[in-house]
Chains A and B, each alone.
Chain A
C-alpha cells in the first residue's frame, strides 16, 4: 500500500501508524518532522509551507514507488502539511512497514532525504521582524 497526502489539517502520528501496520510486518519505522524554534540564529515564530500540489503528490508517489523497488517494504505513508505552522507542529510524517527493520529504516531514510530535494514544497519563516523564503542551498 502507498498512501500520500498533502493537507492543512494537523497530522496525527498515531493515525499514520495505524494506516501502515500489517500482520505480515515485524515493524513500523516512523519519521516525524517538527518545527524548531531557531534557525540560522533567528527565533522562528511560525512557518508557511507552500506546494505545487498536483506535482507534489506525483513526486511523493514516485518516491514511494522507488522505495518499494529498492527495499522490501509492505506499506508506505507520506503525509505533508501545508499552510501556516507553529513551533512544535508536525510538517511531515513518513511511515514504512516491513517484515524486517532494516528495510523499513532504510526506506524511511531514503524517502525523507529524497522528498527534501524533489518534492515541490517551499518553506517561509516568519520572525518578529519580518519573514523570508528559505533557500536550502544558499
Chain B
C-alpha cells in the first residue's frame, strides 16, 4: 500500500522534499515504518512519527490513506 509522508525541518532537507509517497507492505506498524525510514535515510536525526496529526505509539498500525509525518526534535518558542 502507499503512505503519504510529510517531512519538516532537517528531515525535509535529508529526504529532499516536503511530501512523498512511500510504498510499503500492508499492516506496517509505526516502529516498522520508522525502521524503513532509518534504513532509507540513515542521516535522519532521532525522530518521532505522527499519524494523522497525532504522535504515534510504536505499535500503532499505519493504514492506507493515513498521513504520516516525520517529526524531528522540535524547537519552537
Residues on A close to B: CB < 8 A?
A: 33, 49-52, 54-56, 58, 80, 91-92, 112, 115-124, 133-137
Contact = CB atoms under 8 A, between A and B. Distances in A.
A115 to B, nearest CB: 5
21 contacts: A33-B77, A50-B9, A52-B8, A52-B69, A55-B69, A56-B76, A58-B54, A91-B77, A116-B76, A117-B74, A118-B55, A118-B74, A119-B74, A120-B71, A122-B76, A134-B75, A135-B45, A135-B73, A135-B75, A136-B73, A136-B74
A120 B12 CA distance: 13
A135 B77 contact: no
B74 A116 contact: yes
Contacts of A120: 8, 50, 69, 71, 74
**Chain B interface extent, by class:** 10 to 19
A115 B69 CA distance: 18
A35 to B, nearest CB: 11
B41 to A, nearest CB: 15
A85 B50 CA distance: 27
A137 B76 contact: no
Contacts of A137: 46, 73
Interface of B: 6, 8-10, 13, 45-46, 50, 53-55, 69, 71-77
Given A91-B77, A122-B76, A135-B10, 15 more contacts: A50-B8, A50-B9, A52-B8, A54-B53, A92-B77, A112-B77, A120-B69, A121-B75, A121-B77, A122-B10, A123-B76, A135-B73, A136-B74, A136-B75, A137-B73
A52 B71 contact: yes
A28 to B, nearest CB: 19
A115 B75 CA distance: 9
